[in-house]
Amino acid sequence: MGTQFDQLLGKVNEIHDLEKVTWLLSWDREVNMPAAAAEIRSKQMGTVSKMVHELSTSDAMGELIEKATEELEGAGADPKGMEQSLVRHLARDFNEKKRFPIDFIKRQSEASGIAVQKWKLARENDDFSQFVDCLETTIELCQEKAEHLGYEDEKYDALLSQFERGLKTADVRRVFNAIKAETVPLLEAINQNSAAVDDSLLHQDFPVEIQKQVAPHFAEAVGYNFAQGAEVGTAAHPFASSFSRYDARITTRWYPDFLSTSLFGTMHESGHAMYEQGTGEELERTPLARGTSMGIHESQSRMMENLVGRSRDFWKAHYHVLQDAFPSQLGQSTAEDFYRAINKVSSSFIRVEADELTYNLHIMLRFELEQAMVNGEVTAAQVPEAWNAKMKSLLGIVPPSDNLGCLQDMHWTGTSFGYFPTYALGNFYSVQLLEAALVQNQSIEADLAQGKTGELKKWLGENIHQHGKKFDPPELVTMATGRPLDHEPFVRYAKQKFGELYNL
C-alpha cells in the first residue's frame, strides 16, 4: 500500500494501542483494583483518554485521512478490503467527533458525573424525585446530541446510529412491533400455565468454589479459547473485554444459592469474547479490530447463552458435568428437568433478571420511552407513570416502587439513549444468524445435537467474527443471511420453544 495510507496506519496503530490500554485499565479496575485506588485510576484513565481524543481529532489526522482516502481511490482499492473499510471508518468517526462542540462534551461529562451520584442517592431512598432533574438534563442533552449528529427522519435515528450504525428507528420499530404482537399473547398464555415449568432445581446451595471449578468447562464448551484469554474473572457487573484478538477475557458473578447467574453469565461473556478472538489478524491494532456494533456483539453472546446454552441438546451432552460437581443438589434430576428449569418464563420487574422471552419486552418499553422523551412527548417527571403503564400493557404487572421500575438501570445517567434497543436486536439477530448457518452448513446441526459448537464457531468466524468492524450491521447481516434484520426467525423460534415447554 502507498505511503499516505502507511503513515495513517502508523498513527492509527498507536491510537488504538492507547485505546486498548484504557480497556485494560477498566478491566483491571473491575476485577483486581482495590476501592481505595478509584480516584487515581480515574485520573490515569482520563489522561490516556485525553490523549486518544487529541490524537484522533487533530488537524494532522484529518488531513492524513483525506490524503489516504484519495490515494486508495486513485489506486482503485477494493471497497470491501481492509484499507478502504478503515479509511471509511476513520473519516466517519473523525467527522462525527468534530461535530460536537467542546462545550457540549464538557457539559455532557459533568452532567453524567452528577447524575450517577444522584441516581445512586435516589436508589438508596427509592425516591425518583431526587433524580428527576438529572433525567431532564439527560433528555435535553440527548436532544442536543441528536442535533449535532444530524438526522433525516427522526431525532432518535441519530442516537441509535451511535450504537447500531445503518439501522433506522423505523426499522427497529417495525421489527419490535412485529415481535411484540406475538410475544404479548404468548406470555399471557404462559403466565396462565406457569406451573408447567418448575425451576426450584436452580435455587439450592451451590458452593461458589465449585461453581468456579466448573465455569471453565462451559466457557470452552461454547467455544471460548483460554489460550487467547485469561481465567474467568469475578466482577460485580459481568462483562467481557479484549486488549487484542489474542487476549479477550470474560468475567461473571457467583451466587451461592442460584446456579444460573454464573453459568449463563459465563456462556454469555464467552460469546462476546469469541467475537473478539475471531477478528481478522490484519485488523489488529486498528479500530476495525472489534465487533461491528452493540447489537451484533449481543447476537454472539446471546447465541451462546440462549440458543446453545439453553438448548435441550447441549444439556443432554453436558449435564453430567454439573451433576458430578453438585451430586447432592442435581444427582437425582435429569437433563430434561434442568432444560425445563433454565427456560422458565415469567413476568418480572427487573430487566437483568428477565428470561429469554420477557427480556425483549423490557427493552421495547425503554425503546418506546426513550423516543417519547427525545421527542418531547414525555417529560422526566412523567417517566414513572409512563413506565408503569407500559409495564402493565407489555408484561401485565406494575412495579410497586420506582426502584423496581424506572430507577433500576443506570443507563439514563448519560446520553446513551439508543443503546437499550441493541440488547433486543442481539436476540433477534442471533436467531436469524443461526437459522442461516444451519441451512448453509449441514454439519452444524449434527454437531449441536452432540453439544458441540466447533462447526457453528467456524461458520460464525467466517461470516461474522473475522470481519470485525469492516462492515455496518445491515451489510454484514445481509452478507451472512441474504437479508437484513428480520423478525420472523425469532418469532418461529420463540413460539416453537416455549409453546412446547408450556404445552400451548
The three three-digit cell numbers of residue 102, written as one number: 467542546
Rule CB under 8 A: choose which of 7, 13, 125, 177 binds a second copy.
Answer: 13
Tell me which stretch binds a second copy (CB under 8 A): 46-54, 89-97, 323-331, 435-443.
Answer: 46-54
Looking at beta carbons only, is 31 or 189 nearer to a second copy? 31
Secondary structure element (H or E) that encloses residue 223, with its range: none
Out of 83, 269, 305, 455, pick the active-site residue: 269
Q: Write phi, then psi, for 174 (nearest 5 degrees).
A: -65, -45
| Closest C-alpha to 115, from 103, 92, 131 | 131
Tell me which stretch binds a second copy (CB under 8 A): 23-31, 97-105, 316-324, 394-402.
Answer: 23-31
Residue 70 bears catalytic tag: no
Work out whether 313 is an interface residue with a second copy (CB under 8 A): no
Looking at beta carbons only, is 12 or 425 nearer to a second copy? 12
Beta bridge partners of 291: none
- For 251, the 3-state DSSP assignment is strand
Amino acid, single-letter form, for residue 275:
Y
Tell me which stretch binds a second copy (CB under 8 A): 30-38, 125-133, 331-339, 355-363.
Answer: 30-38
Work out whether 223 is an interface residue with a second copy (CB under 8 A): no
Tell me which stretch binds a second copy (CB under 8 A): 40-48, 291-299, 429-437, 481-489.
Answer: 40-48
Is beta strand 247-252 parallel, antiparallel or unpaired with respect to 233-234?
parallel
The three three-digit cell numbers of residue 350, written as one number: 427487573
Work out whether 441 is an interface residue with a second copy (CB under 8 A): no
Looking at beta carbons only, is 118 or 465 nearer to a second copy? 465
Residue 441 is classified by DSSP as: -
State how far Cα 204 lies from the chain centre. Answer: 29
What would you measure as the largest C-alpha separation in the chain, in angstroms? Answer: 70
Looking at beta carbons only, is 140 or 284 nearer to a second copy? 284
| Closest C-alpha to 281, from 468, 454, 460 | 468
Tell me which stretch binds a second copy (CB under 8 A): 33-41, 309-317, 361-369, 481-489.
Answer: 33-41
For 12-29, give the DSSP string: HHHHHHHHHHHHHHHHHH
For 64-82, give the DSSP string: HHHHHHHHHHHTT--TTSH
Work out whether 36 is an interface residue with a second copy (CB under 8 A): yes
- Least distance from a second copy to the Cβ atom of residue 167, Å: 32
Amino acid, single-letter form, for residue 216:
P
Residues of span 240-299 touching a second copy by CB under 8 A: 243-244, 246-247, 249, 284-285
Rule CB under 8 A: choose which of 5, 8, 12, 20 binds a second copy.
Answer: 20
Question: Percent helix, strand and coil across the chain, each rounded to 5?
Answer: 70, 5, 25
Rule CB under 8 A: choose which of 2, 26, 51, 182 binds a second copy.
Answer: 51
CB 425 within 8 A of CB 291: no
Work out whether 24 is an interface residue with a second copy (CB under 8 A): yes
Query: Which active-site residues does the annotation give?
Result: 269
- Binding residues for a second copy, rule: CB under 8 A, are 13-14, 17-18, 20-21, 24-25, 28, 32-37, 39-41, 43-44, 47-48, 50-51, 226-231, 243-244, 246-247, 249, 284-285
